Chain A
């Protein structure tokens, strides 16, 4: 029973793929409309060189964007948490940045990055998307210190620096990790969306492969690129989940 439960996701995936394969063959669906999984697998292996290179391009842009977003968001959250006035000033701007669709600002960013550097535009847009969850996680975390523990710090005469380093920063860690996990997934989505909108083949990411294959009606290759994107997203999520788990263990055990 346990083995069935452990394998349940794999079994479901196999069933769905088999149903898809059989349906394509029995209903004689044209391959340009819906290729069977076997054709997608063939496309994945025959186009592996270009697809894997593009996957790495997209993933590296997403990861760089995640790092930049994390650095900027943490610094900004720290500054913001220091004063209520700054927080009041910054928060609406951060929210505005969050709710403005990245698709809408992509053409602007593409102009600023210049035609020669589409990868900069894509990275910048992924930063915009990944910024908010980290910022709001860090800010919430910095303000989440137990009020009674804060009273004890006051009672023991802690100075503002001690309060920051020994109370606020450690209190922020779990919220920050949660924000990073959400942002990791978003950075990948942001990178792909930005590639589509920023639109040039210069960046050569997976989104570009999808567009290119679509224009040539290579539907199987489109599916292969989408499958790679899905796998990359899942891997990134799993990685961040592991980082979060390990980091929380460390956090609880100093």
Chain B
């Protein structure tokens, strides 16, 4: 176990209950997808796991040291005044790594996401997909044990989404962080996760959980196989119920 929410509830002033009560345990190296209707508190759950927010009631426990958590947001969230490598090096430099060493590791991380040649590029010169890869490299450069992704591919086109999904899975298999990601796409959730957790409409509670074989790499034609389609249908039905 690397992080967990126990009977957690989150209330926001004015908006009232946003999430919970909810129990969720993230095992070491596990891949979890959170799906649910808009505004059900998926992103809030992610921020709780990241330790960026405190719950109103309940307990959040995190067995990760400082600097072992990484978050990727829906937007690439790069600093426009830094080049790609400097953006990736930022978490290392903030933690006290000397500039040259941090940059060397950043270039290495960029190489891993297929952007070795873009090290000196400015964020404004990068395409949406490339910027997202830089963001991913920045998350991976700290060698996280807990990787949290908040709708990371939502702003990208279908082909880029699929390529990036494969890349994320390959990197996860290599570096083995526990991974929790929020998505709107049931297919993406089924494709990427070992466990898909469905949340109800606000305030979000867990109303369904599906375990998938999830072995990586997926067999050829995985998206078209009956098991995959069935899981997508089953979770879509749960989601439709949640939104009703």
- The residues of A with any CB-CB pair to B shorter than 8 Å are 146, 148-149, 151-158, 162, 166-167, 170, 173, 251-254
Q: What's the minimum C-beta distance from A232 to chain B, rounded to whole angstroms?
A: 33
> In the complex, what residue of chain B is closest to A149 when comparing beta carbons?
B77
Q: What's the minimum C-beta distance from B44 to chain A, rounded to whole angstroms?
A: 13
Chain B contributes a number of interface residues (CB within 8 A of A) equal to 25
Chain A residues lying within 8 Å of B90, measured Cβ to Cβ, are 152, 156, 166
Which of B51, B69, B82, B95 counts the most chain A CB atoms within 10 A?
B82
Partner of A154, one of B52, B70, B122, B142: B52
Known contacts A155-B50, A254-B83, A166 near B77 by CB under 8 Å:
no
Chain B residues lying within 8 Å of A253, measured Cβ to Cβ, are 83, 122
Given A152-B71, A155-B51, A170-B81, 11 extra CB contacts under 8 A:
A151-B73, A152-B90, A155-B50, A155-B52, A156-B95, A158-B94, A162-B94, A166-B90, A170-B79, A251-B81, A252-B124
B95 touches A252 (CB 8 A): no
A152 to B142, CA, bound (A): 12
Chain A residues lying within 8 Å of B47, measured Cβ to Cβ, are 151
A153 to B79, CA, bound (A): 11
Q: Which of B175-229 contact A (CB under 8 A)?
A: none
Known contacts A146-B77, A173-B81, A155 near B122 by CB under 8 Å:
no
A251 to B122, CA, bound (A): 10
B122 touches A166 (CB 8 A): no
B81 touches A149 (CB 8 A): no
Chain B residues lying within 8 Å of A173, measured Cβ to Cβ, are 81
Chain A residues lying within 8 Å of B21, measured Cβ to Cβ, are none
A157 to B69, CA, bound (A): 11
Chain A residues lying within 8 Å of B52, measured Cβ to Cβ, are 151, 154-155
Q: Could you tell me the dominant secondary structure of chain B's interface residues?
A: loop
Chain A residues lying within 8 Å of B73, measured Cβ to Cβ, are 148, 151
A129 to B63, CA, bound (A): 56
B66 within 8 A of A: yes
Q: What's the minimum C-beta distance from A54 to chain B, rounded to whole angstroms?
A: 42
B82 touches A157 (CB 8 A): no
Q: What's the minimum C-beta distance from A21 to chain B, rounded to whole angstroms?
A: 49
B77 touches A148 (CB 8 A): yes
0/1 per residue, B147-181, Cβ < 8 Å to A? 00000000000000000000000000000000000
A253 to B79, CA, bound (A): 11
B91 touches A156 (CB 8 A): yes
* 9 pairs, A vs B, C-beta closer than 8 Å: A148-B75, A151-B47, A152-B91, A155-B51, A156-B95, A157-B94, A166-B94, A251-B81, A254-B81
A166 to B86, CA, bound (A): 11
Q: What's the minimum C-beta distance from B182 to chain A, rounded to whole angstroms?
A: 14
A153 touches B77 (CB 8 A): no
B80 within 8 A of A: yes
A153 to B94, CA, bound (A): 8
Q: What's the minimum C-beta distance from A152 to chain B, rounded to whole angstroms?
A: 7
Instruction: List the 4 closest pairs (A to B, CB-CB), nearest first.
Output: A170-B81, A148-B77, A156-B91, A156-B94
A252 touches B67 (CB 8 A): no
Chain A residues lying within 8 Å of B82, measured Cβ to Cβ, are 254
> In the complex, what residue of chain B is closest to A170 when comparing beta carbons?
B81
Chain B residues lying within 8 Å of A151, measured Cβ to Cβ, are 47, 52, 71, 73
Known contacts A166-B94, A252-B124, A155 near B71 by CB under 8 Å:
yes
